[in-house]
A and B are shown apart, each in its own frame.
Chain A
Amino acid sequence: MGQGLLVTIPLTVISFALALGIAVICAMIQIADVKGLKQVVRFYIWLIRGTPLLVQLYLVYFGLPDLGIALPAFPCAVAVFALNEGAYCAETVRAAIESVPKGQMEAGYCVGLSYIQIMRRIILPQAFRTAFPPLSNSLISMVKDTSLAANITVTEMFMTTQRVAGRTYEHLALYAEVALIYLLFCTVITWLQRLGEKKLNAMNGGNVIRA
């Protein structure tokens, strides 16, 4: 099971990091109203949110080889998880950016900053503070969703557990143990979330009261 954890952790971390990148890019395209690309982003989010994650995994791992695109299991899982989570997080990030008052952008223009500078230095840091709790939520979901990768032969934690259980028939003990490890993993993330929120709050001088 320890070996499985060594797959689960990088699978989660890499996928989520990529998902965040996808989310910010998709959110920015929607906010900045980039012609053409905006429709592509909308389509992508619609497609991903409208189909089950497990089906997406099957489609990419077992389906795409029919078109001559055969990815090894681990990269395939990373790609699917990143694309899947990216679509959900894109909406979180977009909502958070839109929650920053318009006056922040105008004030930025008036002191001579460019759109990109205002976004990067003023708007996104404030949006990140708003997006942080729901993004942590997404990360916690993802930790557990990675167990689905067992279905496409990724030997992550759950797959390893299944194998051991198949050999020893200690189902209750083994599945309880793996549940406990997921729980522990998520507890650490919850704890980190609280720490992060405190830090982000301090960076804005406590609770923001917006006039």
Chain B
Amino acid sequence: MLEIRGLKKAFDGHEILKGVDLELDKGDVLAVLGPSGGGKTTLLRCLNYLEKADEGTMTFLGQTMDMPAMNRKDVAAYRRHTAFVFQSFNLFSNRTALQNVTEGLIIARKMAKSEAEKRALAALERVGLADKRDAYPSQLSGGQQQRVAIARAVAGEPDVIFFDEPTSALDPELIGGVLDVIRALAEDGMTMIVVTHEVRFARNVSTRVLFMEDGRALASEPTAVFFEEQKNERIRSFLRSLDRKDD
């Protein structure tokens, strides 16, 4: 459904992505793992055109596009099929939980208000926060804000959702609730790319793993193969170091 070839991105002459390939089928949950500074977040931001790729082609829903050549209109059309969940939530501060979800539906997708609210409530229900519909972001905990952000992402009925370290800004006791929501989405067959440091989550929920280091994909394989039959010594030592942290 989504295929990326030769994605490159540099900031001020410093190459962050050095030619990344990636493919995703409908219903896949791709976990992107790897050390900090390896280009995981930049990859995800390029996928939703929050950063403009320097090179690379994208094939999405059967249509192949040259990524740097996409204009504003192409990007807007593409974004109707995607959603993005940020590390720092980025809920609209001047909107309630419900309005955060309806904003895109009513304004961007021109949906009737009643229809949008019905859909938004269902999305909030899905993340267990229907009772917080009238709360402003400042009145919600980090975990609740992130769940509202996920509801906002889901409500647009995207073909794929991008998660950028969705639990990295959360207190440890709030992480579980957010991961449970993402897990439930996976069980419902939602296609997702999740940049994460939660290895256990990647092992249990993802269908594929992409391992990024130094701007390259060191591995892109099914989750079971990645964890159980890992041959790359660098990845094995990375996983071992995380295991130690878990103990």
Look across to chain A and name the residue whose beta carbon is closest to the beta carbon of B135: A205
Does B156 contact A106, Cβ atoms closer than 8 Å?
no
Does A107 contact B79, Cβ atoms closer than 8 Å?
no
Residues on B with beta carbons closer than 8 Å to the beta carbon of A106: 50, 84, 86, 90
Give the docked Cα–Cα distance between A129 and B48 (Å).
30
Give the docked Cα–Cα distance between A109 and B162 (Å).
14
Does A111 contact B156, Cβ atoms closer than 8 Å?
yes
**In the complex, which of the residues A114, A121, A204, A211 has the most CB atoms of chain B within 10 Å of its own CB atom?**
A211
- A55: interface (CB < 8 Å): no
- A210: interface (CB < 8 Å): yes
Residues on A with beta carbons closer than 8 Å to the beta carbon of B91: 107
Of residues 105 to 145 in A, which have CB atoms within 8 Å of B's CB atoms? 106-114, 117, 121-122, 125-126, 129
Of residues 165 to 211 in A, which have CB atoms within 8 Å of B's CB atoms? 203-211
Cβ 8 A contact of A103, one of B80, B88, B152: B88
Number of interface residues of A (CB under 8 A): 27
Residues on B with beta carbons closer than 8 Å to the beta carbon of A121: 103, 107
Q: List 27 A-B contacts (CB under 8 A).
A: A104-B90, A104-B93, A107-B91, A108-B92, A110-B50, A110-B83, A110-B84, A111-B103, A112-B104, A112-B109, A113-B103, A113-B107, A113-B108, A117-B108, A125-B94, A126-B93, A129-B94, A204-B93, A204-B94, A205-B135, A206-B136, A207-B138, A208-B93, A208-B137, A211-B88, A211-B89, A211-B145
